[in-house]
Amino acid sequence: MKNIYGLTLDDMEKYFLDIGSKKFHALQLFSWLYEKRIENYEQITDIKKEVLEKIRNDYSIDRLKIVDIQEDVDVCKYLFELFDGEHIEAVLMRHDYGNSVCISSQVGCNMGCKFCESGRRKKVRNLETYEMVLQLLMIEELLNERISHVVVMGIGEPFDNYDNLIKFFKIINHPKGLAIGARHITVSTCGVVPKILEFSEFPLQINLAISLHAPNNEIRNKIMPINKAYPLDVLIPAIKKYLEKTNRRVTFEYILLDGINDSEQCALELAKLVSNINCYINLIPYNETNNLDFKRTKTIQIMRFYDILKKNNINVTIRREFGGKISAACGQLRSKKEEL
């Protein structure tokens, strides 16, 4: 059965018209779901019984199950169980500017990045829109606090689930939905070029992050299979087009992997690669996982890498680390739960 949390306001308006009811009920229902946070349709007082009965038969209002919570300083990780028994994770990070939640977009992932725990396991399926919305809604309810920022950087490749992702953005951004400002939402992709171009047409000003992780095709091919489909000489021009269209800035994520992509030569090459792109680089200390052989770059080398970029006038930050103790890296909690 379909779930009500997967409908945008437009979808709801269309639904009410289709069943011969009134369009304005959509806004009322939206408000019951996202402002008053009802848990069953009986709580609704301003829509006729017969219409409610119809909705009840067409759309479930059930929430997911949270089956594990792990807490560390300023971070909390939630393991969700979906209706078909699959598991996904979301992570809450407390910043001085607000609460940020990192959500999953698929069960597993087909991109196969060599260093990533999610990529080690194949994609089982895409998440439905409601499964993305409910990750946020349920964490907000548990905390009884507002979530101000969202990053789509959990399990999965969001641009491999594009249509559901776009609906999710429309719902969480809507003032009567979760009202999360577009500029407070970030989506991260490993570089699915056709979707980057399509996303440049999407009217909301959502931030785009690209998982770059290498300064040239030789290294990128070794760690990210997507690079064989969309090598840097295709990816970089696509990003430039996106920037032209949107007038925005893009973030490059760069995980530092010991002996793989962290030499001084790599830093120089990286500086050159992005020199005429409006961007900033987020250096990510690798979160080692038991199942994979990659090692984290030593802090002193991370600093050297950072300095070289700075000297070359690149905007660069080193990602603050959360949750080392609680297996917070992409896909780790799910793997633990399922012992794979």
Site string for ligand SAH, 60-99 (x = CB under 6 A): ----------------------------------------
> Contact 324/287 with Cβ under 8 angstroms?
yes
Q: Using the rule CB under 6 A, is 164 a contact of ligand SAH?
A: no
Distance CA 113, CA 87 (A): 20
Least distance in angstroms from the C-beta of 212 to ligand SAH: 8
Q: Using the rule CB under 6 A, is 214 a contact of ligand SAH?
A: no
The one among 286, 305, 306, 322 contacting ligand SAH by CB under 6 A: 286
Nearest to 104 by CA among 322, 330, 333: 330
Find the farthest-apart pair of alpha carbons in the chain and give their distance in angstroms, rounded: 69
> Contact 65/319 with Cβ under 8 angstroms?
no
The one among 8, 70, 173, 287 contacting ligand SAH by CB under 6 A: 287
Residues 6+ apart with CB under 8 A from 139: 78, 90, 92, 101, 147
The one among 284, 308, 326, 333 contacting ligand SAH by CB under 6 A: 284
The one among 11, 62, 86, 253 contacting ligand SAH by CB under 6 A: 253
Provide the pairing of β-strand 106-107 with 59-60: unpaired
DSSP result, 53-84? HHHHHHEE----EEEEEEEETTEEEEEEE-TT
Site string for ligand SAH, 99-138 (x = CB under 6 A): ------------x-x-xx----------------------
By CB under 6 A, the count of residues binding ligand SAH is 18
Provide the pairing of β-strand 59-60 with 149-152: unpaired
The one among 4, 93, 136, 153 contacting ligand SAH by CB under 6 A: 153
Least distance in angstroms from the C-beta of 190 to ligand SAH: 4
Q: Using the rule CB under 6 A, is 199 a contact of ligand SAH?
A: no
Distance CA 298, CA 259 (A): 10
Match 């999407």 to its residue by tokens: 202
Residues designated catalytic: 89, 330
Distance CA 235, CA 224 (A): 13
The one among 12, 55, 127, 330 contacting ligand SAH by CB under 6 A: 330
The one among 47, 166, 171, 255 contacting ligand SAH by CB under 6 A: 255
Distance CA 331, CA 325 (A): 14
Q: Residue 11: in which H helix or E strand, if any?
A: helix 9-18
**Of 177 and 331, CB closest to ligand SAH:** 331
**Of 66 and 292, CB closest to ligand SAH:** 292
**Of 33 and 111, CB closest to ligand SAH:** 111
**Of 131 and 157, CB closest to ligand SAH:** 157
Distance CA 283, CA 320 (A): 9
Least distance in angstroms from the C-beta of 257 to ligand SAH: 9
Distance CA 325, CA 305 (A): 26
**Of 188 and 227, CB closest to ligand SAH:** 188
Q: Using the rule CB under 6 A, is 227 a contact of ligand SAH?
A: no
Contacts with ligand SAH, residue ranges (CB under 6 A)? 111, 113, 115-116, 153, 157, 188-190, 211, 253, 255, 284, 286-287, 289, 329-330
